[in-house]
Amino acid sequence: MPSKTFNSLKHFDWRTNIVYLAFIGVFIYFSISLSAEGFLTSGNLLNIARQTAMISIMGVAMTFVISSKEIDLSVGSIAALSALTTALTLQSGVGLIPGVAVGLGTGLLIGFINGFLVTKIMIPSFLVTLAMMGIARGLAMWISDTAPVPILNESYIFLFGSGDVFGIPILLLWTIVIAVIGHIMLRKSTFGRQTLATGGNDSAARFTGINTNRVRLYVFMASGLMAALAGMLYAGRMQAGRFTFGTGDELSVIAAVILGGTSLFGGVGTVIGTVIGSVMIGTINNGLILMGLDVSQQMVVQGLIIILAVAFGRKAKQ
């Protein structure tokens, strides 16, 4: 029996499971060191879930993007623009469904433009989405005149922000639903297999009949759609649309994806790992706040996390 245990430990892939081990370690550390500050209270843990929901949701789609060997730096700006288009539509009095449709449509359209420029014009995704990051943020500032746009629709606020279902925050439910759908699609669907094949070896994927350009177009559209949903959740939680929503989120999303085990070089992806990576980053930020660290110190720690994420992301190619 001991020999079997030893052999199991010997063959355990520590680097593949590092995010889970790190999360357990971080959680135990803060639970012990911040017990007096209320780290383990249900209110604080639910607050972490609310704070990380948007990063997790964008991270699910980003897992597909990075698995296909692409990158999307525009997600934070898409979130801001979608939040504002939703808020402005709701403010016009047309109702909940048109407001939601406009918000999601905003993200879907920008995702399509990103994918079109990458697959048809052959511009590298880094440059396309970097430019789109500025364009979308600028449009958000332009259409709002840099002022917040209040949301007074109570149904929207409940469904996309402050609602609870049997004591579970609606933001957490959104995260669970999107994560489950993303996991099933990546692991069980033809599209998920095609995404991994595209990122793993584009030439081989095309040789087997996969339309790799179509796959890339779809992953960018999915990324835009999930960024829009995240922006709408920001708006629901804050009860207003603001051009500042999502600022810097692209770094947190990419860090969560890579830290979770998705290879930065494509071909390897895990949605569950992404969500755990997101929650771990949120837990660290929450713990640092309870410890009394200021924003600048939190930024330093987050930067170190990104470096570690990229370092561990190299495992798939070594």
pLDDT, greater one: 141 or 251: 141
The kind and range of the H/E element at 209 are none
Percent of the chain beyond pLDDT 70?
90
Can you tell me the distance from the alpha carbon of 280 to that of 285, in angstroms, rounded to the nearest whole number?
9
Q: What is the mean pLDDT of residues 29-55?
A: 89
CB atoms within 10 A of CB 4: 8
Q: What is the DSSP letter of 150?
A: E
Residue whose token pair is 């999915």 = 222
Can you tell me the distance from the alpha carbon of 18 to that of 21, in angstroms, rounded to the nearest whole number?
5
Distances in Å between the Cα of 241 and the Cα atoms of 9, 53, 59, 159 are 50, 17, 21, 15
Can you tell me the distance from the alpha carbon of 143 to that of 64, in angstroms, rounded to the nearest whole number?
31
pLDDT band, residue 316 (cuts 50/70/90): very low
The kind and range of the H/E element at 307 are helix 295-313
- Give the CATH number of domain 37-317; options: 1.10.10, 1.10.260, 1.10.3470, 1.10.150: 1.10.3470
Domain ranges within the chain, ordered by starting residue: 37-317
pTM of this prediction? 0.90
Q: What is the DSSP letter of 1?
A: -
Q: What is the mean pLDDT of residues 140-162?
A: 94
Q: State the pLDDT at residue 312.
A: 61
Can you tell me the distance from the alpha carbon of 294 to that of 184, in angstroms, rounded to the nearest whole number?
39
> Does residue 228 register a pLDDT over 50?
yes
Q: What is the mean pLDDT of residues 217-237?
A: 97
pLDDT band, residue 24 (cuts 50/70/90): confident
The kind and range of the H/E element at 241 are strand 240-241
DSSP 56-109: HHHHHHHHHHHHTT-----HHHHHHHHHHHHHHHHHTT--HHHHHHHHHHHHHH
Q: State the pLDDT at residue 317.
A: 44
Q: State the pLDDT at residue 145.
A: 93
Residue whose token pair is 């071909």 = 267
Question: How long is the chain?
Answer: 318
Among 184-188, 289-293, 308-312, the range of highest mean pLDDT? 184-188
Q: What is the mean pLDDT of residues 220-236?
A: 97
Q: State the pLDDT at residue 10.
A: 52
pLDDT band, residue 304 (cuts 50/70/90): confident
Residue-wise pLDDT for 114-131, tens only, equals 999 999 999 999 999 999
User: What mean pLDDT is reported for the chain?
Assistant: 89
β-bridge partners, 150: 240
pLDDT band, residue 62 (cuts 50/70/90): very high
Q: State the pLDDT at residue 6.
A: 46
> Does residue 44 register a pLDDT over 60?
yes
DSSP 3-state of 149 = strand
Tokens encoding 245: 């929503």
Q: State the pLDDT at residue 14.
A: 53
